[in-house]
Amino acid sequence: EAATIVAHRVDDQMVVLMDPMEDPDDILRANRSREKTYMFDVAFDYSASQEEVYRATTKGLIEGLISGYNATVFAYGPTGCGKTYTMLGTDKEPGIYVRTLNDLFRAIEETSDDMLYSVSMSYLEIYNEMIRDLLNPSSGFLDLREDSKGVIQVAGITEVSTINAQEIMELLMKGNKQRTQEPTAANQTSSRSHAVLQVAVKQQSRCRDVLQEVRFARLFMIDLAGSERAAQTQNRGQRLKEGAHINRSLLALGNCINALSDKNGNKYVNYRDSKLTRLLKDSLGGNSRTVMIAHISPASVAFEESRNTLTYADRAKSIRTRVKKNLINVSYHIAQYTNIISDLRCEIQRLKKKIADQASRQLNSDRADIRHVQDC
């Protein structure tokens, strides 16, 4: 479209956006800068690999997740700027979903000798302000409910328990085929819905005691639909209605970000304006470590969208979440002591066997060394 590049990454943290409409020869605006700079925790240009983006944004959340801290990662920005690519990726260049789950299961395997884990996942989309289960689309539209502890839950969502990364990947691929995508003038495979992957991790010690400590944490990974203007995507009819719903939920998200980042201490944050913001209540201003990956196009034709996205991301920087470890202490009834004792005996036997195996391996390697010396 004969566009020029107006967005530049200056270093690892600074993005410079130039206004393509301003005339450098305009005397009235001679003292006004055409450039606007934005500072972030980290900035990437178009040459960044999936691995670089993952390492700088999400990898650090996994250790906390196993320790009982909630985490959220969401991709934000206009249509066609690479949100789905960042989150889902391709077979050759997998995105944040796949890399996070692989590293999560690797971390679980490394500590599974001492700890007992249970992992469950659900995958849903919010389309036209309706919630659809992507793992079981035939269940129809689902409702949001608030439980006794004030946690927002999706009633009737399919939760799949697994301890296998490959199984989750297959479910993700299956769910993604059910996702609502339509071609628009801005993008051939435009995501018309917000996709939310939720992974719940529960951890407890294998060694059962009278007082058992259980840690649990939730990981949300969200691929938002593109924020766009109807004029730019030339949407009509059904696409226009979808766009209005997408923009409405993103406006509600923007309003929440504005209220949370308000320096004057505006205490009221309207999470109920949209199902997306209700679901993300904890992620935005509550008990969660949250990463927002903002995507922009460097092209001059997308200047307005890029400026709006950078302004939102700049505001979101000042949101402070209050993160606390999710712990439950379970005390067992006296009748369960016999079970605890038998479990402890099994654990002792297992550990004794492990020590004996290691000792025999050591002995065999020592003998092999002696034979080697004798041969020499």
User: Given 3.40.190.10, 3.30.930.10, 3.40.850.10, 1.10.3720.10, which CATH number is that of 7-325?
Assistant: 3.40.850.10
Beta bridge partners of 127: 130
Q: What is the percent of the chain where pLDDT is above 70?
A: 82
pLDDT band at 233 (very low <50, low <70, confident <90, very high): very low
| Mean pLDDT of all residues in 52-59 | 95
Q: Which of 127-136, 265-274, 312-321, 350-359 has the lowest mean pLDDT?
A: 265-274
* Residues 233, 235: Cα–Cα separation, whole Å: 5
Q: Where are the alpha helices (DSSP H) in the chain?
A: 50-57, 61-67, 83-87, 96-111, 165-177, 230-233, 237-260, 275-279, 281-285, 303-316, 337-375
158 is in an annotated binding site: no
81 is in an annotated binding site: yes
pLDDT band at 259 (very low <50, low <70, confident <90, very high): confident
pLDDT tens, 238-250? 656 666 777 788 8
Beta bridge partners of 190: 182
Residue with tokens 């949250």: 290
Q: Bigger pLDDT: 364 or 239?
A: 364
Residue with tokens 């939730």: 218
Question: Using CA atoms in the order 269, 70, 207, 105, what is the torsion angle rounded to 10 degrees?
Answer: 160
Give the per-residue pLDDT at 59.
93
* Residues 73, 19: Cα–Cα separation, whole Å: 30
Q: Where are the alpha helices (DSSP H) in 113-222?
A: 165-177
| Mean pLDDT of all residues in 349-375 | 79
Q: Strands of 14-18's sheet, edge to edge?
A: 7-9, 14-18, 35-39
79 is in an annotated binding site: yes
Q: Are 226 and 246 in contact (CB under 8 A)?
A: yes
| pLDDT winner (highest mean) among 17-21, 144-148, 295-299 | 295-299
Question: Using CA atoms in the order 186, 188, 194, 195, what is the torsion angle rounded to 10 degrees?
Answer: -150
Give the per-residue pLDDT at 230.
44
| Per-residue CA distances from 213 to 64, 71, 360 (Å) | 16, 20, 35
83 is in an annotated binding site: yes
Q: Are 282 and 70 in contact (CB under 8 A)?
A: yes
C-alpha atoms less than 13 angstroms from C-alpha of 221 in its C-beta half-sphere: 26
80 is in an annotated binding site: yes
* Residues 348, 371: Cα–Cα separation, whole Å: 35
84 is in an annotated binding site: yes
Give the per-residue pLDDT at 317.
86
Q: Which of 53-57, 148-152, 185-189 has the lowest mean pLDDT?
A: 185-189
Beta bridge partners of 259: none
pLDDT band at 293 (very low <50, low <70, confident <90, very high): very high
